[in-house]
């Protein structure tokens, strides 16, 4: 009900589009941004900062309003809201984007990036990124920037140290076929569902556990019902800030430039916040009774997904991105 009210409010806001600003009769346009993350999450903070920078660079003609906590709905719904211009922007997980364009499936390959620094290097230096991002524009949404979403680890009511521990376990994943294949290769089974449904699913025993970064493990309070967080480090998947394509096209060249600069600074800021936030979150979950498991046989897990890499890279669109990712690796 709350969501319907907010959406009605937003629809009305789209019709009126702007509000008067203090500056010489200019209008301040408010861009609404959907996020499933809690207040204070590095991505929400980065988007707020981006709004401030964009506002400054355009003499206060734009302002961002972030709606956290899935207030506007799960990511898939907010992606549609962006496509239809009901809202201007949303923070989006990779699986929602890869369902449109196969190249993005590459980022859902387990043990793809060496570490988070490698992911950052790829997204900030590879010439393929811009081309890849441009491929979503035909679906009426534009990727404004990538954001790190850290490293994903598995958690459950018991520690997961090796393949034997995972055998037969039902693990919630985001909605992606690649994740289902990954869990199968690791000996478990994936139960796909949206982010907001996971707590109840673990609590009621529909799944045995889930997998996510420290920020989400902590903010969702999953540690209270799945208190073993095992450093499997199996996925380093990005998130994105997306916006309505028509809205982007309607901006002047100068405003597009201001937006790109604000996005660049926001992405740097988010990465900067991420590490510190992850450490704080870890301390928080430990205090809340969680046990952190570091001695995971990650090599065995990596070996188990080699056939999956071989299978996925048969797809030329995945292979193109895969090769570009590997070209930015610093490992020999």
Instruction: Please say whether the beta carbons of 61 and 95 come within 8 A.
Output: no
Is 37 strand, coil or helix? coil
Name every residue whose Cβ is closer than 8 Å to that of residue 192 and which is 6 or more positions away in sequence.
172, 173, 174, 175, 176, 179, 180
CA 99 to chain centre: 14
Q: Nearer Cβ to ligand GCU, position 119 or 212?
A: 212
Nearest approach, Cβ of residue 239 and ligand GCU (Å): 4
| Residue whose C-alpha is closest to residue 209's, from 165, 274, 242 | 165
- Binding string, residues 176-215; x marks residues near ligand GCU by CB under 6 A: -------------------x----------------x---
Q: Closest residue (Cβ) to ligand GCU? A: 93
Q: Nearer Cβ to ligand GCU, position 239 or 277?
A: 239
Q: Is 35 in the site for ligand GCU (CB under 6 A)?
A: no
Nearest approach, Cβ of residue 27 and ligand GCU (Å): 33
Q: Nearer Cβ to ligand GCU, position 60 or 192?
A: 192
Q: Out of 51, 55, 93, 103, which residue is the one contacting ligand GCU (CB under 6 A)?
A: 93
Taking the C-alpha atoms of residue 323 and residue 306, their distance in angstroms, rounded to an integer, is 15
Q: Out of 32, 75, 176, 218, which residue is the one contacting ligand GCU (CB under 6 A)?
A: 75
Q: Is 277 in the site for ligand GCU (CB under 6 A)?
A: no
Q: Nearer Cβ to ligand GCU, position 152 or 245?
A: 152
Taking the C-alpha atoms of residue 254 and residue 125, their distance in angstroms, rounded to an integer, is 24
Q: Take residue 40 and report the two structure tokens written for it.
A: 């204070």
CA distances from 115 to 4, 246, 329 (A): 40, 35, 9
Per DSSP bridges, beta strands 239-244 and 228-235 are unpaired
Nearest approach, Cβ of residue 321 and ligand GCU (Å): 19
Q: Is 149 in the site for ligand GCU (CB under 6 A)?
A: yes
Nearest approach, Cβ of residue 307 and ligand GCU (Å): 24
CA 230 to chain centre: 20
Nearest approach, Cβ of residue 49 and ligand GCU (Å): 18
Question: Which spans of this chain sit near ligand GCU (rule: CB under 6 A)?
Answer: 75, 93, 149, 174, 195, 212, 216, 239
């Amino acid at each position: 009900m709350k969501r319907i009210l907010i959406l009605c409010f937003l629809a009305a806001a789209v019709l009126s589009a702007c509000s008067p600003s203090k500056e010489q009769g200019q209008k301040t346009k408010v861009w609404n941004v959907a996020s499933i993350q809690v207040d204070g999450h590095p991505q929400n903070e980065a988007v707020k900062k981006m709004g401030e920078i964009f506002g400054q660079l355009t003499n206060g003609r734009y302002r961002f309003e972030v709606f956290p906590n899935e207030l506007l709905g799960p990511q898939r719904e907010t992606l549609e809201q962006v496509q239809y211009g009901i809202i201007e922007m949303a923070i989006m997980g990779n699986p929602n984007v890869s369902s449109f364009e196969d190249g993005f499936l590459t980022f859902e390959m387990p043990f793809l990036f060496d570490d988070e620094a490698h992911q950052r290097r790829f997204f900030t230096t590879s010439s393929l990124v811009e081309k890849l991002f441009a491929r979503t524009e035909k679906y009426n949404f534009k990727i404004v920037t990538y954001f790190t979403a850290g490293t994903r680890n598995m958690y459950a009511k018991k520690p997961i140290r090796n393949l034997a521990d995972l055998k037969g376990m039902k693990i919630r994943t985001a909605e992606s076929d690649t994740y289902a294949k990954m869990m199968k290769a690791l000996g478990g089974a994936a139960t796909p569902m949206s982010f907001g449904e996971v707590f109840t699913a673990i609590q009621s025993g529909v799944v045995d556990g889930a997998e996510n970064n420290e920020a989400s493990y902590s903010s969702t309070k999953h540690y209270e019902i799945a208190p073993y967080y095992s450093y499997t480090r199996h996925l380093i998947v990005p998130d994105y800030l997306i916006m309505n394509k028509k809205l982007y096209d309607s901006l002047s060249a100068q405003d597009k430039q201001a937006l790109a600069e604000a996005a660049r600074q926001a992405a740097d800021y988010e990465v900067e916040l991420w590490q510190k936030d992850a450490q704080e979150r870890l301390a928080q979950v430990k205090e809340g009774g969680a046990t952190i498991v570091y001695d995971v046989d990650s090599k065995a897990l990596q070996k188990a997904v080699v056939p999956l890499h071989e299978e996925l890279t048969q797809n030329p669109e995945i292979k193109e991105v895969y090769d570009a990712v590997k070209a930015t690796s610093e490992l020999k």
